[in-house]
Amino acid sequence: MDGSYLIIVYLLLGLAVLDLMVGVSNDAVNFLNSAFGSKVATRRTILIIASLGILVGALFSSGLMEVARKGIFHPEMFTFADIVVIFVAVMLADVLLLDTFNTFGMPTSTTVSIVFELLGAAVAVAVFTVISQDGSLQQVGQYINGDRAILIISGIVLSVGVAFTVGAAVQFLSRLVFTFQGGREHGLTTLIWSALAVTVMFFFIMLKGLKGVTFLDKSTVKALTSNPWPAAMSVFAGCIVLGGILQYKFRVNLLKIVVLAGTFSLALAFASNDLVNFVGVPLAGLTSYESWSVSGVAANDFSMDALAQPVQGQSGLLVIAGIVMVITLWLSEKARSVTETEIGLSRQDEGNERFEPHTLSRVVVHGFLKLSNAILWLFPRRTALWVEQRYARPDAPLSPQAPDAAAFDLVRASINLTVASILIAIATTMKLPLSTTYVTFMVAMGTSLADRSWGRDSAVYRVAGVINVIGGWFATAALAFTVAAIYALLIKVFGGFAIVLLVVVAALALIHTHRLHKSRSSKKIISAEVDLWNVQATIEQVHTVVKSAVDGLIRNDSASFSETKQQTKKLWAHLQEVEVQLVNHLRKPGGSGLNGTRRRLDLFTVEQDLYQSAHLIGKSCKDYVRNAHTPLHEHQHQKLNELINRFTDFVRYCLASSGDARDFETGRFSDELETALRDQVDGLRAGHYSKRNTRLLLGLYLELQDVVRSLEKMQSMRTQIQARKDSLSASQGDSGQTPESKAKASNLDRQTSETAADDENQSHRENPGTQDPKTI
């Protein structure tokens, strides 16, 4: 196998490129969210600034390479063959793990993943070695750098609490100074804060970061870093002068400069701190191969003492890695999915929430409400009123209904970037690989909490999202350790065959996740693109739910209901999105209000009725089959197939035409349903059908009848709406609308609303019952 080690080194370098791509797609949220969320500049400008920060930061990363070389395990305890096994297992596991999180738009920690993968693979190889030598498992501790591993893990966990607390405290104080009114936007306070923020970034990032570079000699670095205070004071003074000229002379908003500078600094800190997570292992593998190849010793006998030596300059390779990161940053679609998650959780105003609340989120929210009331009770009333005045919102709050609206203001964006940059830079200078994802995410969540973004109407959803993300972090650690350990054992036992097999599995998994993400993106409903008048998606999904449920019932196959469940969720998500759009439309300043949206509200009510009926059909069929009740009789199969075929033809007619549903002879369909109901009752009386069977089919027939009636009602409303549009188009074709055409359009509006109201009343008289509590 000795001749194949060079191929394995090339494999590691290839995996490094893949790891850079999937890693940047996830970690891009760390330095892009504040700029994107505040809409400080165009997307292109933000990406250019971030790219420059990455390239500069790539040169600062060499000092952290020790984590991959000797930070987690003692390299002198492993042979070259063992090190290769560990590094291949780590890289394969890391690519798959990060790509999976990217596919589902969940931010995770590349630092945590690489640390626990190294730990898991090293432990697995150490256990295998000890057992093969008939040793005691207690000897495994000699292979692992336990103190260093505990220090790294503790630093990562501690950074979560520190980041959240510092972010919340700084944002609270900043909001008391700046408020939401924007009246001090061009004042002295903004000038001082902007100069201080830029100086802090310079002090911690540009000066302290020089300790990690390898392209400067030690004397130069020492001269620049031993006494940075004069340089920092000079930068502060220069920022005051230059900022004053820009602010008072050219009316430049200095907070925009702070946010852009913070984006550069955080991108630099990300590259200098996290580049080791992607290329540290392959570069350590290259160093190992170079040491072994000239030794003349067998791979299983060559001790890896070389990895314990100080890292040598590899600036060229780091720059190449930085270029790959920049290209990925510009081209990755998955990075946008991950970015949307954090921006959505820190959005200033309410909107359509991605995460559903659960018991833990409700407990946390209720606990914080009680705690906040207790804290307010401790302060004098005058102080509390003053704080409320500082937090008063302007008359025109941030509006999420606008596609280009900012999720939060520049004040919060500048705090996010400044605090996160400081914390990450401190860890970088201490050569402690903290998680940039944890820090930036928790700073953003802390500032959101202090900024009262989590209001009573959104807190339980946002907290649920934060809990889910943090839960994913713990899952990252567990999965990274387990997967890397399994991969290492497979490679250790089966050798090159296992490596080939795992590479093939990884390739297939990457292809699958790419298709899955593409499918999710194409089916995802974006608020700005929802057509409030297009009900085609609802009709199609209702048909899919009903047909898949009945097919599963006929085949008596419980596995068939997975599609039913998936389509029901999609239908509910679509209705939620339409509901949010309707509320935003009603809220829009200068809009037509209730009168102009009444017809769409009536259509939405019909869509909800369709969802309720489809949901009940799917649930009743699924429960019947999964509870192993008696399968349906053959003639019941035939009757259901005939009804579903007729229903499918009716749905096709509705999708292809906006004409009256009566043109399809729906009365004949109703007669067939009535006949099926009568046959079922007769069979029950004759003892052919059980009571359970009858309850199922009676409910199914009645709900299917409700679906048809709702579609009839929808077709009637669509016909009248189309008639109104045609009338308006005809009238606008003249020089202007005549009074007669306006009266005609108004009459059609009134008829549509009256028809919908009459149909709704008739529906309640025919089918009395409770309304779904989730309706608008």
Position 305 pLDDT exceeds 50: yes
Q: How many CB atoms lie within 10 A of CB 249?
A: 8
- At residue 43, φ and ψ (nearest 5 deg) are -60, -40
Read off the pLDDT of residues 421-437 as tens digits, 9 standing for 90 and up: 788 767 766 666 677 78
Closest alpha carbon to 586 in 575, 600, 607 = 600
Read off the pLDDT of residues 676-714 as tens digits, 9 standing for 90 and up: 999 999 999 999 999 999 999 999 999 999 999 898 888
Position 768 pLDDT exceeds 90: no
Read off the pLDDT of residues 597-638 as tens digits, 9 standing for 90 and up: 777 788 889 999 999 999 999 999 999 999 999 999 998 999
Read off the pLDDT of residues 243-272 as tens digits, 9 standing for 90 and up: 999 998 898 999 999 999 999 988 887 787
Q: How many CB atoms lie within 10 A of CB 256?
A: 17
Return d(Cα 263, Cα 47) in angstroms, integer.
9
Question: Mean per-residue pLDDT for 80-106?
Answer: 93
Return d(Cα 54, Cα 313) in angstroms, integer.
18
Give 73's strand partners: 144
pTM for the whole thing?
Answer: 0.77
Position 350 pLDDT exceeds 50: yes
Closest alpha carbon to 427 in 656, 205, 627, 217 = 205
N-terminal to C-terminal alpha carbon distance within the chain: 67
Question: Mean per-residue pLDDT for 262-286?
Answer: 83
Q: Residue length, the chain? A: 776
Position 438 pLDDT exceeds 80: yes
**Radius of gyration for the chain, computed over Cα atoms and rounded to the nearest angstrom:** 32
Position 763 pLDDT exceeds 60: no
The SS3 call for residue 538 is: helix
